[in-house]
Amino acid sequence: MSNALEAPVCDIKFSDLELVFENSLKGGFGEVYKGTLRGHNIAAKYVKRETPTNLKDFNRELKALRLSEKCKSNIIKFFGLSHDPKRKEYILVMQFANNGTLKNYLCTHKDTLKLSNKISICISTSQVPVPSARDF
């Protein structure tokens, strides 16, 4: 396994991103901005790697997102990693979820979703390969 302090490989040039810095959202451990990359609507999640906990969380999420690239469907597409040279922060570049997160959808519609819809969602999300502990 690589050293956690090593700079991760960025596969997207910052200059290729067109980000909208108004109306940012606070994510789990960073800010999220909407933008575009080569015609795709994206969510750009800025992440800090300052503390040991931030670093561990960042490395775990990056590893999971890189593994998710092998999925064919049922998951938000991960485009890659970039770096903002001014803010000195890394950016996880993902497909923008126009309808919000699955968690928010389920919470909002918990009383109106039919059982068959809930079962269909469970089946489709269960078809996503789950990484094992050895992948991290």
Domain-embedded: residue 129: yes
Give, as one character, the DSSP assignment of residue 89: E
Give residue 56's domain range.
Answer: 14-135
Number of domains comprising the chain: 1
Domain-embedded: residue 7: no
| Domain containing residue 34: CATH number | 3.30.200.20
Query: Do residues 117 and 135 touch, judged by C-beta distance below 8 A?
Result: no
pLDDT of residue 39: 93
Domain-embedded: residue 19: yes
- Count CB atoms within 10 A of the CB of residue 105: 14
Mean pLDDT across the chain: 80
Domain-embedded: residue 131: yes
pLDDT tens readout for residues 57-102: 888 888 888 877 666 665 788 899 999 999 989 999 998 987 777 7
Domain-embedded: residue 57: yes
Q: How far apart are CA 82 and CA 93, in angstroms?
A: 7
